Amino acid sequence: MAAQFFMLVVLCAQTVSAQKFAAFDAASSSSVYSSKSFAASLAVAESSGYWCSAGHHAPGEVVSWTGEFNSRRQISGVQLRWSYAPAEVKVLTSADGGNFEEAAAWRRIARSEPSFEETVMFAGPVAAKSVMVLMRGPKPWGYFGLAGAAALAGPASFMLVSGAPGREEQCAVAGSKGLRAEACLTALVAGEGKEIFSLSDDGELKTNAGQCLGLRAGALSFQTCAGSQSAWEATADGQVRQGGMCLSLSGESIAAMDCSEAAVLGSDKFFQVAVGAQDPAAAVAVRTMGELLRASVERQRKLVARLQALLPKLATCKTSSLRSFAFRAQSVSAAGQSAKLASLGEKIGERFGPGVGEANSVLLATAKVLEAVGAASAR
């Protein structure tokens, strides 16, 4: 049992160490001992100071400390460095900075010392603009205090899916000159990862190739990531904005437009859909399979050509052999008639291997030549 517990601790530590820490941009609290010497902001500043509550709290009184981001972040927990730990702690998150939801329920802190570090993990990643730490149950020292707080922000990847109605869902895709729209299914099948984005620590919209989306003189372009001056904000109502300009869909183009105008047109909605990081090995496997399928189709095409060349000589063949060919002709013909693939399969075939049309053409030619063999056997 002790060994199992040790392994669990090691695994948890490895999970946390693999995370990136996202610093809060601002902080506030519902109680403070002194706004000058023990302000809430000291818990996010690189200093030796710390936030401290006013103290003398009643047993059931709840005190809050809130860390805020300039733009929404994808986080999976919060790391707390207590200067004066409470008896119980609870964590809420807010995607818009105003409406909070429970991310970690009330739990009792068993450690007896006032100062230590702990990590509160959430059940899963959440999009948060604000994180509120609730404390209650003062211990003998009578205060609540934080020397440091930071969010655990994994390298979350996502697609930007347009909310505009259409026959197929449209995704933002990184092009050579900027953003463009492409059917999400087509972009996924390509296996190039151009539809995958992430937000940098500074809020920049980053492509899978490592470039950031910039906005200059009203035009979108990809550039070297330059920090918070090119940060984008994803709002709760689906806008992706920088200042008063929003991403806007128009046909196959995505441009920057005044947010109010884009909202009137209904072209301003882009929703983040979480995806795993691109796995180049998966695309390689599909390409390899496609090469094998292309080779098989080409081999079948050559065999059909050889059989067609032999048709005039069938009169000298034995009847039993011809009947065997006739049976195969019926099987291949039936297979050709029933080979209908789903749209995803069709797109994968067209991209990496022989398309459905090409494969059906070879099957049809095979069926016809075997049918001719079958007809010869009936003579």
Q: What is the pLDDT of residue 258?
A: 95
Task: Answer yes or no: is pLDDT of 55 > 90.
Answer: yes
Q: Residues 61, 136: contact at Cβ < 8 Å? A: yes
The string of pLDDT tens digits covering residues 247-256 is 999 888 999 9
Check pLDDT > 70 for residue 294.
Answer: yes
Q: What is the pLDDT of residue 275?
A: 66
Q: What is the pLDDT of residue 199?
A: 77
Mean pLDDT across the stretch 289-316?
77
Of 32-41, 58-67, 321-330, the range with the lowest mean pLDDT is 321-330
Q: How confident is the model at residue 376 (pLDDT cuts 50, 70, 90)?
A: low
23 within 8 A of 150, measured Cβ to Cβ:
yes
Closest CA to 15 of 126, 125, 146: 125
Higher pLDDT, 160 or 200: 160
Cβ 205 vs Cβ 211: under 8 Å:
no
pLDDT of residue 144: 97
Q: Which residues contact 178 (CB under 8 A, 6 or more apart)?
A: 213, 219, 220, 221, 222, 254
Assessment of whether the complete model's pTM goes beyond 0.85? no
Give the phi and the psi of residue 108 in degrees, each rounded to 5: -85, 140
Distances from the Cα of 217 to the Cαs of 52, 220, 255, 309, in angstroms?
46, 9, 12, 67
More confident residue, 379 or 123: 123
State residue 342's pLDDT score: 46
Cα Rg, the chain, nearest whole Å: 31
Rounded CA-CA distance 83/358 in Å is 70
Sorted by where each starts, the structural domains of the chain and their CATH numbers stand as 19-153 (2.60.120.260), 160-275 (2.80.10.50), 280-377 (no CATH)
Q: What is the pLDDT of residue 176?
A: 81
217, two tokens:
């003189």
How far apart (Å, rounded) are the C-alpha atoms in residues 69 and 46? 16
Q: What is the mean pLDDT of the chain?
A: 79
Asked whether 233 and 241 are in contact (CB, 8 A), the reply is yes
Mean pLDDT, rounded, for 215-235: 83
Residue 188 Rama label (left phi>0; alpha psi -120 to 50; beta): alpha
pLDDT in tens, 226-246: 776 678 887 756 789 898 999
Q: What is the pLDDT of residue 377?
A: 62
Which amino acid does the sequence have at 33? Answer: Y
Which pLDDT score, from 0 to 100, does residue 86 have? Answer: 96
pLDDT at 9: 31
Q: What is the pLDDT of residue 295?
A: 80
Pull the structure tokens for residue 246: 């929003």
Q: Are 230 and 212 in contact (CB under 8 A)?
A: yes
Structure tokens at 195: 């539809």
Band (356; pLDDT cuts 50, 70, 90): low
Residue 18 has pLDDT above 90, yes or no: no
Q: Average of pLDDT values for 109-128? A: 85
Confidence of residue 379 (pLDDT cuts 50, 70, 90): low
Q: What was the pLDDT predicted at 270?
A: 86
